[in-house]
Amino acid sequence: MLIKLFDKMNSLYRERMIEIYAEKKHFGKLKEKNYESLGKNPGCDDEITIELKVENGKIVDARFNGKTCFVSTLAAEVLMANIIGMQVEDILDLGKGDIDKFLGTEVISTRTGCEVFPLDTLKRIHPIESGGAKNDSD
């Protein structure tokens, strides 16, 4: 199955993807969060919550949790790892090409929706003080 998902990848990349999935360093909930976004992918029933701790407009911590497929989990993990240190407003400039760069490979076109699902959810992030999380049905 992994060969089909990442058909251009050599075995070293495949092994690294499996490691990232197994470790999930940014999976879980933040104790101190001040931004949150909920997302649901209607194509596959994946659900994700993204939580950020932001100080003076800068992302200082990021976590995700929920029920996501392999590709969405990988994308969420590398996305969380790479947004720490960014300004919140810079999230809107991120795209599929950035996730491909973070992963080190391009995901096959049939799984693009899974790949960008965490990013789409992240782009709807809201300060919790201003009404709480916003999900994809808002």
Q: Where are the domains of the chain?
A: 2-130
Q: Say what the pLDDT of residue 11 is.
A: 63
The total number of residues written for the chain in this structure: 138
Spell out the per-residue pLDDT of the chain, length 138, in tens: 444 444 455 565 667 777 777 888 999 999 999 999 999 988 788 999 999 999 999 999 999 999 998 889 999 999 999 999 999 999 999 999 999 899 887 777 778 888 999 999 999 999 986 444 444 444
Q: Say what the pLDDT of residue 13 is.
A: 61
116/106 Cα distance (integer angstroms): 12
**Any idea which architecture 2-130 has in CATH?**
Alpha-Beta Complex (3.90)
Residue partners of 11: CB distance under 8 A and separation at least 6: none
Q: What is the pTM for the complete model shown?
A: 0.81
Q: Say what the pLDDT of residue 122 is.
A: 97
